[in-house]
Amino acid sequence: MTAPSEDSGRLLEARIGLVRSMERGSAVLSARLAEVFLNVPRHPFVPVFYRRDGDRFTPWSSTAPDADAWLAQVYSDDSLITEVDGVHAEDAGPQGVSGVPTSSSTAPSLMADMLDALDVRPGHRVMEIGTGTGYNAALLCRLVGGGSVTTVDNSRRLTTTARTRLDALGPAPDVRCADGVEGVPGRAPFDRVIATCSVRRIPTAWFDQCAPGGLMVVPIKGALAGGMIARLQTLPDGTAAGRIMHTPAAFMPLLSGPEETAKIPERMDGAHRDSNLSGSVLDDWTFSFFAELHMSATTVRDYHRGPDGGHVTVLFDPQDGSYARVADRGPEPGAPTVLTRGPRDLWAPIEKAYEHWLSLHRPRREWFTIKATPHKQTVSYVMPDGQGVHWDL
């Protein structure tokens, strides 16, 4: 994994460029974090990743003719897609694949924000849920020491590859192929828990395995992009409390057990009504985290452009079969139309949530707090008059 000596200067310049790019952005980059990103290379962990080419993903490797462009992309402040529908970029043929991304290397500035929030110190015992490429685990090893880091992922392909690359870079973590929902009880307790995948609610095992006074940094997200990252401190009574971070995050969901993806039905018949709200509002990351607080955990979403070019959003809850289709009228004037079927109108809570969000003057993520136990997890917002509003996850 060591870079050829003739390329060492070029690789160092690439890492310096990455740190400068992060510092120009919104990342919280302390001197200690800057040192970590300068000294831990990214390229050994992503020798091949996907480029989006229309509706396909094409693998891009360090051996490609445009190697300089490849290196520049590796050390850009961007996320890199490494797996699509379970097919790793290193296993894909030159023609590429189509499907949905299932694993990626997170944008470095977002990694830095989360590591800063985790407040790790040398000697802290850290559990990472979601090994992925292994790059984040390598950064953690630099911060606390390899023997203090445990990283877990349910993909044997990912953990095997990450273990090899982490071992080559020097003090390596304990890499486990296991269900991240269960954590790693044999290595607990941990002073810090960080997830690099999203969950709808924080799993019970993570509470049990985080020591009192420890910190957890966990992305929370459901069907919509632009979810929340919660930073919580565990308390002596077994609860945890903290705040939502300012950074939106669309981490891929934690996979646990047999994968069951709810299939949204083809267009259905039902009751029609008008709405003042376009389904495209769910693409606004400043609102989508708030909208998700008003959606059931089992609701899934799809969206596309209709034949007339208008935005179409479909919501479906397989739990009770409720269905809603919200369609703009394309270039024609007029309110969006809503088709609903089933016991609940899934669009009505979003309409009410949007009006509520506006009445609260569009509150930002970082103004919300979170309190959680293994049995009840609540996000709260306190208004200027001292009154609070609460939502259960």
Q: Please, what are the domains in the chain?
A: 5-105 (no CATH), 108-244 (3.40.50.150), 271-358 (3.30.160)
CB 105 within 8 A of CB 82: yes
Q: Which stretches of the chain score pLDDT less than 50?
A: 1-6
CB 193 within 8 A of CB 199: no
Helix (H, G, I), strand (E, B) or coil at 151: strand
Helix and strand numbers, DSSP H then E, in the chain: 9, 20
Pairing of strands 377-382, 368-372: antiparallel
Half-sphere exposure of 290 (CA within 13 A, CB side): 26
pLDDT score recorded for residue 55: 85
The letter for the amino acid at 248 is: P
Strands (E), 56-183: 56-61, 80-84, 87-88, 101-105, 126-129, 149-153, 174-177
Question: What does the alpha-carbon distance between residue 19 and residue 75 come to, in Å, rounded to a whole number?
Answer: 9
DSSP code of residue 329: -
For the whole model, what pTM was predicted? 0.92
Question: What does the alpha-carbon distance between residue 176 and residue 163 come to, in Å, rounded to a whole number?
Answer: 9
Q: Which of 5, 62, 98, 104 is catalytic?
A: 104
Question: What does the alpha-carbon distance between residue 254 and residue 153 come to, in Å, rounded to a whole number?
Answer: 9
What residue has token string 């980059």?
A: 29
pLDDT score recorded for residue 63: 86
Active site residue 104: yes
pLDDT score recorded for residue 2: 39
Half-sphere exposure of 139 (CA within 13 A, CB side): 28
